Each structure stands twice: as C-alpha cells, then as structure tokens.
Amino acid sequence: MRKISRASVMVLLALMLAFTAACSSNGNNNNAGKNTDTPSATAGADNGEAADYTFGEGQTFRSNDPVTYSMMYSDHENYPYREDWRLWSAIKEKTNVSFDLSITARTEYENQKSLLVNSGDAPYIIPKTYDESAFVASGQIVPVSDWVQYMPNYMKAVKDWGMEEDLKAKLKEDGKYYVLPGMWEVSGGGYSYIIRKDVFEAAGVDVTGEEANWTYEDFYEAMKKVKAHTGAKYVISDQFKGESTLNIAAVQYGVTGGWGISNGLTFDHDKQEFQFANASDDFKAYLEYFNKLVKEGIMDPESFTQEDDTAQAKFFKGDTYVINANYQLLSDFKSKMQVDGAELYMIVQPGGPKGQLQIETSRLENGIMISQRALDELGEEGFIKMLRFVDWLWYSDEGQTLSLWGVEGETYTKDAEGNIVLNPDIYYNGMNEGASKQLNVDFGFAGGVFAYGGNTKLKTSKMTEGEKDYFNRTVNTREKRKLAPPIMATPEETEQMDLIKTPLIDYVKTMTLKFITGQESFDNWESYKAQVEANGSARYTQMANDVFQKTKSKLGY
C-alpha cells in the first residue's frame, strides 16, 4: 500500500477530528509516535466517523470498503483451524474486515513468531503473545503505548477498571510498552486443590465450614485426618511435577517457587526495594512444610517427577484424595473417576504466614503485538484505522462477546436478566455435557487467539455454577496483593542479569527438591545460603535495585 506523507496525514486527521462525536477530556488527539511516561495516555479516546469507517466506544467498527489485515494464528490441536468457521464470517459481517492468516501449529508458534519478527516479515497483528521482551530490541515491534489514545474501548477499560498499575508490569526501560494485553476487570481464582470432599468429611473435616480460614498448617491437619481415616499410603500425589503447588504455596510464605519462581526476588513495598527471598527464613519454613508432608507420608515424593497422567490415574482410582488443578479440569476429572459416590470439590487456596492472600494478582492476559511493518505499509492513517479495528474486536463488549460466545440467536440467547445462555446443542467449558457440537471446534468461537479479557459479567458468563462459586469464594475470602514493579533493565543490563540468574535459579530449583524430599538435610541450611550468595544472589538483587532506582519515577514511585 502506498505510504502517505506525514503532512497529508495531519490534514486527514484534522478532518477526522471535525467529524468525531466526542473527544478526550484534554482534547489532544495528536500524540501518536510520542513517548508517554505512563502506561496509558489519556488523550484521544475518541468516537466518531472517519473518512471511510466508523469507530468508537460502544460503537461497532465498520470499514466502508472491504479491508484485509495480515495476522499470525496459533492453531490449537484441540480445535484445529477451519476456513468455514462462523467466526470469520461473523467478523466480516460486522466490520467488513477479513484476515490474511499465517497459520502455525500451537507447538511451533513461538519459534515461528521469532523467525517472522526478527526477519521483518511478521504479519501486521501478532496475537497470543505472553512475553514480548525478546522482540523489543529488534525494532520490528511498534511501541504501542504511543498509540493507545486512538483506541477508545481500550482506554475506557483502563480508566474504568483502574488498570494503570497493572499495565506498569509491561513497561520497558524506555517507559513504553510493546504489547496490548488482554485485560480482565477482576482477577481469577487460579489454581488450587481438587479434593475428595466425601472422604474429607468422612474423616471429620468440615470442608465448607473451615476452608475460608484455612492456612497450609490447617490443610496439613485436615490431610492428616484423611490419612488416618483411610490408611492410604499418600493423601496427595500431585500433577504438573509439583510446579503449581509450589507456586501457589510460595505466595503465602512470601517467597517464589514452582511455575512462579522467576528470579527469586520479592518486593518490599515499605522499603521500596527488592530482596532475594529464596534463601530467607521464610523460604526455609516453606521447604520445611513440604518436607513434613513427604516425611509423614501425606505427599507422594513422586509428585515432583511423575507425568500428569500418572498422578491423575492415582486420583481417579481412589488411591489419593488431593490433586492440584484449575477449575476447567474439574468436570473432566468428574467424568473419569472410577469410584462410586466420589464428590470432587475445589477448595480456595490455603493461607499462610503472610496472610490469606489471593494467588492471582495480575488482571492481564497474553496480548497482541503490532509489527512495525504494519505502520510502514499502511501509513499513519491506515495504521490508526487498523488499531481501531483491533480495539473493537479485542476490547469492546460487543467484540469480546462475539469472540467468546458467537452470534446471538445462532449460538446463544440471553435470558430476562441479560445473561448468556448457550444453545443446548453446543458444548463449552463444562456446559451442556454430551451436546453434539462444540463452540470452539465447530464454530471457531471461544478460542485462545481472540477470546480473552473482558468485564466481570463476561468473565463469569463462561463459568459453570460450580466455578462461579469457587470464584466468589476466592474473591470474598482472600486479600488482594500489591503488584511488584517491573525491572525495567536495558538489553545490556538484562543480559548481565540473566548470566547470574540462570545458574542461580537452577541451583535453587535443585536444592528445593532435595530439601523437600529429604535428600538434603536442613542441618546444611547455612551451607545452602552461602552457596546461593556465591552464585550471585546479592549481586543480582543489587542490580535489580539499581535499575529500580533509575526507573522508579517512570513507575510513579
């Protein structure tokens, strides 16, 4: 496409603004390409009609002429791409927009993304991005925070839901961010423990009466009762190689572990500094807890080495009574239980020494990168038009509902209270078990490329009644945590820190399992601490704090 000169663009933008129905509160709509020190510009959240399309908050984006945007597409093996999905025609009918898809198998998506971005050949829209950090230095990704003022639905969500603090997590050392994250009005329940409620209650545990105030020590006492009642070899034999359990328990002990081990740092909001948590007294107490579970035969030591299906088989056969999972697995597990009368129940995550804390703090999901190629080839006017389409599809209530549930009257209806009711012949997420069709497989809706983010009503609309109950129990009984600031290091600083972090965290992971399983004695704790420091923990922490001191003004500290 012919590139438009900046002078022409400014004239066109002036004409566009003359026709807008509403302007931003400060009236400045010309911030594109300018740096902002906050993660959301407040200017330009405008509505109206441009030269050849309509857009705006609460308004359907529609191009007068057909338009096609190139996009990467992660093809999931559980609902493989189909050209005739209703998803594609529904988007086209609403917006007059089609996609030129670069389709890649989910398992190869990250590799293909790296190849295309680094070569400068990436499609315009790059969704399903969990970590954009590796692509920033290439210059092939637009610093999209310079352009969000042209996205009225995105800006409305940021303002109405107070997302400014959340978005700081995406800032890079230049004070900009390079991905449009999916945003939820509220955080989710996250991973916890599915238990055999029937067995716990038979052992004398009042699950629903006690779980709101449970700490990990209380959970230990409950599992002890189950072991004594059943005579089982183990009460819990975990899946995910224990990574999820170590992650969620670490939060309650003020440390990091499992999937969330990251760099071993936690942030002290009172002192406004990072500290290396994984050689502290808190970390020792955390390891001693799991060592106690293993030593007393409550937790299967194979939890940290076995494959998921092995752990699940033990649970399904009734050999164990606790397993870590998310709620989406619960309905599947119910159908696979081999024990008559088994009652499965997901408890709220236990609290710990640091309080009764919510595990999930970030309300951000994976997101969308926009390639520099899009700006180069479309020119500023065409680029803004494409952003407004992205804004509608991924951030408006209408677009989000379409992506998740499909077309009203075809795949769903609404009840008298305005709640989504999925057609009875369509299955999704535990709803309408045994239905002949599936929302994602047969129609293309509710897929991971499009359907993430939204308000609380939309979030809970895809939950079964049981999941809504779990979600509400979590929100009502667990305390929100403050978000830690990002470490906004330069590429050079990041490289130096990674050289320390990789061997340091590898050592911590190795010793974590040795302490838990009893291969290493806690008598050698001081030796462990000395080796952690020898591996660079103090230096790494100092570097993190130096970066924070340099950049904290951009973060509002």
Report if pTM > 0.75. yes
Q: Letter for the amino acid at 542?
A: Q
Which pLDDT does position 464 carry in this prediction? 86
Does residue 401 sit in the same domain as residue 342?
A: no
Does residue 61 sit in the same domain as residue 152?
A: yes
Do the Cβ atoms of 255 and 509 come closer than 8 Å?
A: no
SS3 298: coil
Does residue 321 sit in the same domain as residue 442?
A: no
The verdict on residue 154 lying in a domain is yes
Which pLDDT does position 25 carry in this prediction? 34
The verdict on residue 141 lying in a domain is yes
The rounded distance, in Å, linking the Cα atoms of 206 and 434 is: 33
| Residue 27 CB neighbours (<10 A) | 10
The verdict on residue 482 lying in a domain is no
Does residue 348 sit in the same domain as residue 368?
A: no
pLDDT per residue over 332-385, tens digit each?
899 999 999 999 999 999 999 999 999 988 899 999 999 999 999 999 999 999
CA distances from 363 to 162, 167, 188 (A): 11, 9, 8
Q: Is the pLDDT of residue 551 over 90?
A: yes
Does residue 173 sit in the same domain as residue 201?
A: no
pLDDT band, very low/low/confident/very high, at 73 (cuts 50, 70, 90):
very high
Please name every residue paired with 54 in a beta bridge, in sequence order, or none if there are none.
49, 62
Q: Is the pLDDT of residue 283 over 70?
A: yes
Do the Cβ atoms of 404 and 445 come closer than 8 Å?
A: yes
> What DSSP state is assigned to residue 173?
T
Q: Give the full edge-to-edge strand order of the sheet including 53-55.
A: 48-49, 53-55, 62-63
- Short-list 198, 193, 194, 192, CA closest to 230: 198
For residues 436-457, average pLDDT? 95
pLDDT per residue over 86-97, tens digit each?
999 999 999 999
Q: Give the number of domains in the chain.
A: 3
The per-residue pLDDT of the chain, averaged, comes to 91
The rounded distance, in Å, linking the Cα atoms of 472 and 348 is: 10
Which pLDDT does position 331 carry in this prediction? 81
Does residue 350 sit in the same domain as residue 288?
A: yes
Does residue 176 sit in the same domain as residue 73?
A: yes
CA distances from 235 to 39, 312, 319, 332 (A): 46, 13, 8, 21
The verdict on residue 355 lying in a domain is yes
> What DSSP state is assigned to residue 408?
B
Do the Cβ atoms of 445 and 403 come closer than 8 Å?
A: yes
Does residue 196 sit in the same domain as residue 316?
A: yes
The verdict on residue 76 lying in a domain is yes
For residues 460-480, average pLDDT? 91
- Domain residues for 297? 191-260+273-362+467-477
Out of 446, 477, 508, pick the residue that ends a domain.
477
Does residue 314 sit in the same domain as residue 203?
A: yes
Q: Is the pLDDT of residue 457 over 80?
A: yes
The verdict on residue 287 lying in a domain is yes
Does residue 174 sit in the same domain as residue 130?
A: yes
pLDDT band, very low/low/confident/very high, at 133 (cuts 50, 70, 90):
confident
- Short-list 284, 249, 207, 243, CA closest to 515: 284
Q: Is the pLDDT of residue 137 over 90?
A: no
The rounded distance, in Å, linking the Cα atoms of 152 and 444 is: 26
pLDDT per residue over 165-205, tens digit each?
999 999 998 999 999 999 999 987 889 999 999 999 999 99
Q: Where are the beta strands (DSSP E) in 44-169?
A: 48-49, 53-55, 62-63, 67-75, 97-105, 125-129
Does residue 551 sit in the same domain as residue 412?
A: no
Do the Cβ atoms of 195 and 345 come closer than 8 Å?
A: yes
Does residue 224 sit in the same domain as residue 327?
A: yes
The verdict on residue 248 lying in a domain is yes
The fraction of the chain above a pLDDT of 70, given in percent, is 92
Which pLDDT does position 46 carry in this prediction? 61
pLDDT per residue over 32-49, tens digit each?
333 444 444 333 446 777
At 516, phi and psi to the nearest 5? -65, -45
CA distances from 69 to 9, 99, 125, 290, 443 (A): 20, 5, 8, 51, 21
Q: Where are the beta strands (DSSP E) in 76-201?
A: 97-105, 125-129, 180-183, 192-196
More confident call, 491 vs 54? 54
The rounded distance, in Å, linking the Cα atoms of 442 and 164 is: 38
The verdict on residue 351 lying in a domain is yes
The rounded distance, in Å, linking the Cα atoms of 324 and 259 is: 13
Token readout for 498 is 């990674």
Do the Cβ atoms of 451 and 400 come closer than 8 Å?
A: yes
Domain CATH number, residue 231? 3.40.190.10
- Short-list 59, 75, 117, 72, CA closest to 99: 72
Q: Where are the beta strands (DSSP E) in 173-281?
A: 180-183, 192-196, 265-268, 273-276
Cβ neighbors of 116 (< 8 A, separation 6 or more) are 72, 102, 122, 123
